[in-house]
Chains A and B, each alone.
Chain A
């Protein structure tokens, strides 16, 4: 194995490969900074350039892109409260409040260092797991995937502070919004109101931009302040980096979640950061500041979403099953270059697999260095008064929403959701659970239908289902117990 590792490094260590890796990193960082674009669009832009390239060079460019998209997407999430991509939604929960407290630099420092550690963890996990993951992935059927989505849905209650009722309602709204469009189980269009745009459902970026970007910008305008309320920046990048190393257990825990969820095809990468965030909120001590500007709320999702990329590559390379739109295009690119994915990736093509691990590691490190170098300057955005910043952000947000399906429906739906989300923000109604419900909606319906159709009621007797059900019940029990004890404490104080 060591010899293969050295051979793979030699394969990578040529000027041409490094140059293309750098190009991929550059495009990845740019796409990440632009809200709403996401990895799939970026990969679609890169794919024509890969055609006809040497396999190692083409792979370097694509892996460079995939590895770093979730590093730079943190800039808009933390500084503007606008999700840079589907994988950086949970970062807003604490990153944006930190920017509002003038601690944008600290949040960015923690985010980039967590991203690089998560990315490297994902790369190592890819190397170790690709040889043993086959029985694990094949053992997972629809019932287990259904239970994984149910586990994800339990986060709905955990993400709403205080009473669980608004969180539950928000989660149900998300599930209902996810039911719009064609049914995943039969040929039926639902809630489309005879509008062709809704036939494919509401795109995730449109919902995320509407839920977070518009309300935040409207609030800033109404308050007429800069994002950093105090008008100055406190905390340094390095204090954020130190925080990440101080919470190394959290980084490892979140990275493991990232790899685990990433390697399950069909669960969707957008939920990884929420699961990592929710689990951090459950497992860490003194969590009363989660959602108000706790640095751990930045570290957890950022470690997870970069580690996820290593996990996603396991089913992609081992079975040819892409876990996301980005890896689907990667798969297309690999096939175009004549690389047959499958079990041969750990036998005949092991050097290619190991070189991918090296590329993931290198790309994550380079991206973190670039982002850390730029962060100090970009953090100053949070000092710009709202009346100057907001019109520019509105332009970006509307352009970004339009990229989803490139139709006017994107813009109008985003505006409608944004108006309702502003009311939600004003009345203190949680918005994050809507996204979780939305992301998991079609999975819950599809996997439930498949489980019942294939296994009947016996799907509940599978060992994996029982194990995951036990984990879910334990999490819910822990949540109720913590809530009851915190309410009792408040009662005693009163």
Chain B
């Protein structure tokens, strides 16, 4: 399974979220009328139980994973930055078949999940801004502005190409709305 400590920490955070979600669902279900209560209460109690087991499994995995990282990274790489660690060393702690650069690469990879989560958060933010602009200007104009701006900023495309693509998207949406009868989100100011 997943041995990467940073990912395991993410997993633990997610497990805690699940425990909290199932527990609050169980509390919420206790307020429902009897017949309507049985199903959600049973599901949330069972869910809470299994989420706690999952949390326990991941905490155990993290502790085991951390031991490997501490012994390999702190004890060996930090104390002997100039030496390559090989399996034929006379010292027991040196009997590791990985060298220092491998440890450093592993450590840097372990940081990546957080980095990629931050980038994803940025993109998610841009979608929220897009939806807000749609709620103000309507789907067609909001989408035109979003596609044109996004592609202009994120790619090395010429601006006219980005605008042309955005215009095509907006035209297709207009066609779908006018002739096929698909209803698109209206804007407060324009639609």
Chain B interface helix/strand/loop/mixed: helix
* Interface flag for A186 (CB, 8 Å): yes
- Interface size bucket, A side? 35 or more
Residue in B35, B47, B119, B127 with the greatest tally of chain A CB atoms within 10 Å: B127
* Interface flag for A427 (CB, 8 Å): yes
* Interface flag for B99 (CB, 8 Å): no
Residues 26-54 of chain B: 1 if any A CB is under 8 Å from the residue's CB, otherwise 0? 00110011011001100110110011011
B127 / chain A contacts, CB cutoff of 8 Å: 214, 394, 415
B98 / chain A contacts, CB cutoff of 8 Å: none
B180 / chain A contacts, CB cutoff of 8 Å: 30, 45
* Interface flag for A275 (CB, 8 Å): no
Q: Is the CB of B35 within 8 A of A186?
A: yes
Q: Is the CB of A395 within 8 A of B50?
A: no
Residues 4-34 of chain B: 1 if any A CB is under 8 Å from the residue's CB, otherwise 0? 0001001100100010011001001100110
Q: Is the CB of A403 within 8 A of B182?
A: yes
A412 / chain B contacts, CB cutoff of 8 Å: 131
Residue in A176, A186, A191, A412 with the greatest tally of chain B CB atoms within 10 Å: A176
Q: Is the CB of B184 within 8 A of A179?
A: no
Q: What is the distance, in angstroms, from B43's C-beta to the closest C-beta of chain A?
A: 5
Given A391-B147, A395-B169: A191 touches B46 (CB 8 Å cut-off): no
Q: Is the CB of A37 within 8 A of B36?
A: no
A214 / chain B contacts, CB cutoff of 8 Å: 127
* Interface flag for A140 (CB, 8 Å): no
Q: Complex: how many Å from CA A37 to CA B183?
A: 11
Q: Which residue of A lies closest to B156 (CB)?
A: A387
Q: Is the CB of A444 within 8 A of B135?
A: no
Q: What is the distance, in angstroms, from A24's C-beta to the closest C-beta of chain B?
A: 15
* Interface flag for B124 (CB, 8 Å): yes
Residues 361-398 of chain A: 1 if any B CB is under 8 Å from the residue's CB, otherwise 0? 00000000000000000000000010110111011001
Contact for B165 among A162, A388, A419, CB less than 8 A: A388
Q: Is the CB of A179 within 8 A of B39?
A: yes
Q: Is the CB of A403 within 8 A of B183?
A: yes
Given A168-B50, A172-B50, A190-B29: A449 touches B146 (CB 8 Å cut-off): no
Q: Is the CB of B1 within 8 A of A163?
A: yes
Q: Complex: how many Å from CA A125 to CA B40?
A: 39
Residues 395-411 of chain A: 1 if any B CB is under 8 Å from the residue's CB, otherwise 0? 10011001100101001
Q: Is the CB of A395 within 8 A of B143?
A: yes
Q: Is the CB of B185 within 8 A of A402?
A: yes
Q: Is the CB of A188 within 8 A of B32?
A: yes
Q: Complex: how many Å from CA A427 to CA B15?
A: 10
Given A165-B57, A394-B127, A406-B183: A176 touches B43 (CB 8 Å cut-off): yes
* Interface flag for A222 (CB, 8 Å): yes
Q: Is the CB of A444 within 8 A of B39?
A: yes
Q: Is the CB of B33 within 8 A of A188?
A: yes
| CB-CB contacts below 8 Å: B89-104 with A | none
* Interface flag for B157 (CB, 8 Å): yes
Q: Complex: how many Å from CA A173 to CA B19?
A: 11
Q: Is the CB of B47 within 8 A of A176?
A: yes
Given A179-B43, A391-B146: A186 touches B25 (CB 8 Å cut-off): no
Residue in A176, A185, A395 with the greatest tally of chain B CB atoms within 10 Å: A395
Q: Is the CB of A176 within 8 A of B151?
A: no
Q: Which residue of A lies closest to B39 (CB)?
A: A445
Q: Is the CB of A399 within 8 A of B35?
A: no
Contact for A426 among B33, B47, B113, CB less than 8 A: B113
B120 / chain A contacts, CB cutoff of 8 Å: 218-219, 221-222, 422, 426
Known: A190-B40, A445-B39; 10 extra A-B contacts, CB below 8 A, are A45-B181, A166-B54, A168-B50, A169-B18, A176-B22, A176-B44, A176-B47, A186-B36, A222-B120, A399-B173
Sort A-B residue pairs by CB-CB distance and give the 9 closest, nearest first. Answer: A188-B36, A183-B36, A172-B47, A391-B150, A387-B154, A445-B39, A179-B40, A395-B143, A427-B11
